[in-house]
Structure 1
Amino acid sequence: MAYSGQYERVHTIFKSIPAAKRYNYTDKNILNQAIWGGIEKLKEVKKLHFENLILSEKKFINATLRLFINDCSKNNQFPKELFQSIIYWSEELICLNCLDEALSFLNEADRFGTTKFPDIHIDIMNKKATIYISKGMMNEAYDILAHLAGRPYLITDRKKIPQILFNLSQVTLIAGSISVYKKLLLLGLRYFYTDLSDRKNFVDQLENTYKRSFRLLLRPGTNVPDKFLYFVHWLYYKLPDFKKIKLGFINRIFALIILGYVYGLNYIRRNEHVNLKESLGELKYPALVRNYNSNVKENNRKKILITRAMGGIGDFLMMTPGFHALKQKYPSREIQLAIPKRYFSLFEGNKDVILRDIEDPDLNHLQYGKWFNFSDCPASRIESKTAPEVKESRIDIFAKALGNKRVRLWKLDRKPRYFINEEEHHLKNKFWKENNLTGKKVIGVQLHSDETYRNYPHMENLVKELSKEYSVLVFDGEPIKGCNFENVIKLNNCSLRKAFAIASGCDVIIAPDSSFVHFAASQDIPCLALFGPIDGKVRTKHYKYCKFLDARDQIECLPCWRNESIPCKLTNMRASVCMSKINLNIILDELKILIALKDKK
């Protein structure tokens, strides 16, 4: 029930268990759904103003979250579900005006290390800033908001940028730094994001600040591009709604003019970014957007920066053809890739890029001649706009986003680039010898994807059937429960490079839509890829030795291109019906075909 998202039933059952025995049910999905169900129940009783029920439910949620935190601390594993639960509950505590309790939970989440999940990390920092503002702790709020505003490459959703800047402007206003406050409002219009309703907040605030629009336009301290930027925004919001007379295209044209101009300011006239370096009392205001021409060495302008605050492994592998094409386009220019350090090992031996820690405080994206921000993922944007009729593979989308066009894109080698070194080849050979695998047919199986909606629920049964005829290596990032069959070797919790090194010796790899599919393509290993909500035809279209399987002949809603946060529209649950419908016997039949084709080579 917890795995499928039935939070109401999970909450009811879990609450009926005596508190002393709940530690027997410390599964991350159970606890996450019990907390979410409790929050939904609390919202209902709040409407009825039953104080005793409110306090009772609040006590239950606090105890359940504390149980969740203690269990994760004991095992030194902090899953995404824990941080989601903390965010859910802190939001509700803020609504209940229990600011200190909310802040305490958020601080604990920070200590556990939320940077592994950038979207969650940003949410937690935003909520802490909101609490600090409510408590009048402006220094603390400023530190958080300025950190985010000055490092947009850490923000995975550009829709969050305007709220961060607007809140920061209010903090500086309260602190008495009027000039910084005004610059932040203009900066809010300069950042590139497409939601025009968010832009209206900045226009309204500027109008309230200057009383009359012409005062800003005539103000000598404001540069011409910013004046024009404000003017086109102001004019857009003064337009009547032409949709009422079926001339809505006029509003759309003006919106495109605004976004086109903003794009130009950000990507064509980068040297005109404002410098916000200023100090006021105890508040120290760094340059949120630094002047591109100041204190920048000539050779730095020749460097190219690519930023990506989050994973995953599959996405990074799909980016590598684009990186290689970019290096071929600019062979004399240094390409720096700023990513979380935990992904550095993926690029060992890759000479196309030089790695930088994206958390490096000295990283300044405006000191580079070119900057490509993949934290704001171009593939996700295009897929969300075109779903379910997605035609372009992520390899092509990433390559285009790096400026590879026309002939270079046509000549692009779309094979992911991953390099196994000599030591890892020896490791693989040693593993084969120690486990008596030489001369046998060995099938590698990735047990789970990082995202549950992509998982094949019959994977253990598949491993059991495979073990009757083949030697099977089972890979997973967590301790493997089950799969205790003859001819099965479980590899869990080993490093990524060790797992890939051993997997490179497999005759065939079977995996859900995840990293091993793209790794297999990089090594020309035959692969059976199991797909559901995501279109396997698009995702694997460039993989010569990959055969994708799905259940589209049984379920016509496939592919729907949903993600982890969107439930299956057939069941309203987290698990994907389409994944469970992939026939196990068909997988076994296709495996025999792949092995036969490999033997003929």
Structure 2
Amino acid sequence: MKKILIFNPSYMGDSILTTPLIKALKLKLPESYIAFCVRPENVDLFEGVDFIDEVIAFDKRGADSGLGGAISFAKKLREKNFDLVISPHMSFRTSLVLALSKIPERLGFVESKMSFIYTMSCAKDLTYHEVERYILLYDRLFSEYPKDRIKPSVFHDEKLSDKFRAELGDKLVGINPGSVWETKKWPAENFAAVADMLKDKGYTPVIIGSEADRPEVDKLLEAAKYDHINFCGKSPLRELPSLISTFEYLVTNDSGPMHIAVSTGVPCVAIFGPTVRSLGFYPYDDESKIAEIEGLPCRPCGKHGSKKCPEKHFKCMLEILPENVVTLFDVVSHIEVARVPKFKTEKVD
């Protein structure tokens, strides 16, 4: 039995987008043992996924930080006797850990720091979605690309979903105003307006977020004209996919919950400000839509966003209006609309 390690201890979304690669490997090598290395805060999303045999936490900002932590963690990996490691992650620290782990076969991207430590490598084609970029590593290993499109996966407890449905009712729409990046946050007052408009359409908005998102959620609730269901801080990450799966749709910033929604089959209206589709992290489905301002020369201003708008005008977010987002929602929910907004600083009639 071949023991394989998939190494991507990155942000939540990046780890979620790695799961199609893992599933493709499991389908190709069903008798293999596959472990997935992620950040400790993301472990709960993947434990219990049927094609992942083990989830390993790499606490690179805590217990495993620094040179000593890297050496110690590499020793732990070495003791697990993996035959092959595949690393979508491209940092210097990752390459150092994997070199020290002495796993016999190491596959990564040519663009990785210290890429010479890999025994096999391939180029990361940035014209692809991030899911498909990762699967290029599969193609390098087997000289073939999976025939079928594989969507991302997270752990999802259907019994818990049933419990949420019984508690919250039907026609639920998730509202996610949070993000770890300040410039990825559409104004909370705009989310409030969208929630109110969806309420007027007969939907039940459910506000979600972690405790870190509490300030944005409080602003939203204060600005809203209705008392919306507030699930901020009430659902731990382990339960979040089960909650999101009960939604008919999710209105969200460009963030981890967006990828969780796609993983559970929930279409999104995703609001992209400093980021753009060409970065490769848009919703990996055919139903979701992106609200964005096209034609701004300052977009994108970074891969992940930042603390403040570098141009000090924040047009990429401020010029997206609640009416624009609701019009896109109508498209996603298959309501006939007179005109799909172009998002070039125009207001929908």
What is aligned with 1:94?
Answer: none
What is aligned with 1:588?
Answer: 326
Kindly state the Cα deviation for residue 416 of structure 1 after the two structures are TM-superposed. Answer: 0.9
Contact persistence 2:244–2:260 (CA under 8 A): no
What is aligned with 2:231?
Answer: 491
Partner amino acid for 2:178? H
Contact persistence 1:307–1:372 (CA under 8 A): yes
Label 1:365 to 1:514 Cα distance change in 2 as closer, same or farther (>3 A). Answer: farther
Q: For 1:447 and 1:336, how far apart are their aligned partners in 2?
A: 33
TM superposition score normalised by structure 2: 0.70
Kindly state the Cα deviation for residue 370 of structure 1 after the two structures are TM-superposed. Answer: 1.1
What is aligned with 2:9?
Answer: 309
Contact persistence 1:449–1:512 (CA under 8 A): yes
For the pair 1:456 / 2:186, whether they are aligned, the reply is yes
Partner amino acid for 1:539? F
1:468 to 172, 182, 200: 200
What is aligned with 1:409?
Answer: 145
Kindly state the Cα deviation for residue 541 of structure 1 after the two structures are TM-superposed. Answer: 6.6
Kindly state the Cα deviation for residue 319 of structure 1 after the two structures are TM-superposed. Answer: 0.6
State the secondary structure of the residue aligned to 1:392: coil
Kindly state the Cα deviation for residue 405 of structure 1 after the two structures are TM-superposed. Answer: 6.3
What is aligned with 1:509?
Answer: 250
Partner amino acid for 2:186? Y
Contact persistence 1:325–1:404 (CA under 8 A): no
Kindly state the Cα deviation for residue 536 of structure 1 after the two structures are TM-superposed. Answer: 2.8
Contact persistence 1:338–1:357 (CA under 8 A): yes
1:118-161 CA deviation, whole Å, 9 max, x = no partner?
xxxxxxxxxxxxxxxxxxxxxxxxxxxxxxxxxxxxxxxxxxxx
If asked which structure has higher relative contact order (CA below 8 Å, sep 6+), I would say 2
Kindly state the Cα deviation for residue 393 of structure 1 after the two structures are TM-superposed. Answer: 1.2
State the secondary structure of the residue aligned to 1:371: strand
Partner amino acid for 2:218? K
Kindly state the Cα deviation for residue 423 of structure 1 after the two structures are TM-superposed. Answer: 2.5
* Structure 2: tracts of 5 or more residues without a match: 60-71, 92-107, 113-124, 337-349
Kindly state the Cα deviation for residue 420 of structure 1 after the two structures are TM-superposed. Answer: 1.9
Query: Which runs of at least 4 in structure 1 moved beyond 6 Å after TM superposition?
Result: none
State the secondary structure of the residue aligned to 1:414: coil
2:160 to 412, 424, 431: 424
Kindly state the Cα deviation for residue 428 of structure 1 after the two structures are TM-superposed. Answer: 1.8
What is aligned with 2:339?
Answer: none
- Name the larger-Rg structure: 1
2:266 to 518, 521, 525: 525
Kindly state the Cα deviation for residue 305 of structure 1 after the two structures are TM-superposed. Answer: 1.6
Partner amino acid for 1:548? I
Q: For 2:283 and 2:258, how far apart are their aligned partners in 1?
A: 12
1:350-390 CA deviation, whole Å, 9 max, x = no partner?
122222233585513484221233443579x68xxxxxx95
State the secondary structure of the residue aligned to 1:539: coil
1:483-531 CA deviation, whole Å, 9 max, x = no partner?
1442511111120232322221112111111122212222222210111
Alignment of structure 1 residues 165-564 onto 2, 5 Å: 302-310=2-10, 312-353=11-52, 354-358=54-58, 363-365=76-78, 367-376=81-90, 390-402=126-138, 408-432=144-168, 437-438=169-170, 441-457=171-187, 458-469=190-201, 470-478=203-211, 479=214, 480-482=217-219, 483-484=221-222, 485=224, 486-493=226-233, 494-536=235-277, 538-540=280-282, 542-553=284-295, 555-564=296-305
Label 1:580 to 1:319 Cα distance change in 2 as closer, same or farther (>3 A). Answer: same
Label 1:330 to 1:535 Cα distance change in 2 as closer, same or farther (>3 A). Answer: same
1:177-235 CA deviation, whole Å, 9 max, x = no partner?
xxxxxxxxxxxxxxxxxxxxxxxxxxxxxxxxxxxxxxxxxxxxxxxxxxxxxxxxxxx
State the secondary structure of the residue aligned to 1:463: helix
Q: For 2:143 and 2:77, how far apart are their aligned partners in 1?
A: 32
User: What is the CA RMSD across the aligned residues, in angstroms?
Assistant: 3.1
Label 1:559 to 1:412 Cα distance change in 2 as closer, same or farther (>3 A). Answer: farther
Contact persistence 1:507–1:525 (CA under 8 A): yes
Label 1:442 to 1:429 Cα distance change in 2 as closer, same or farther (>3 A). Answer: closer
Identify the structure with the greater helix proportion: 1
Identical residues among aligned pairs (%): 20
Identify the structure with the greater strand proportion: 2
State the secondary structure of the residue aligned to 1:521: helix
Q: For 2:301 and 2:38, how far apart are their aligned partners in 1?
A: 30
State the secondary structure of the residue aligned to 1:363: helix
Alignment of structure 1 residues 64-143 onto 2, 5 Å: none
Partner amino acid for 1:431? E
Contact persistence 1:325–1:412 (CA under 8 A): no
Partner amino acid for 1:590? L
What is aligned with 1:578?
Answer: 316
Q: For 2:257 and 2:306, how far apart are their aligned partners in 1?
A: 23
Label 1:391 to 1:523 Cα distance change in 2 as closer, same or farther (>3 A). Answer: same
1:441-485 CA deviation, whole Å, 9 max, x = no partner?
322111111211211123333334433333210111123313144
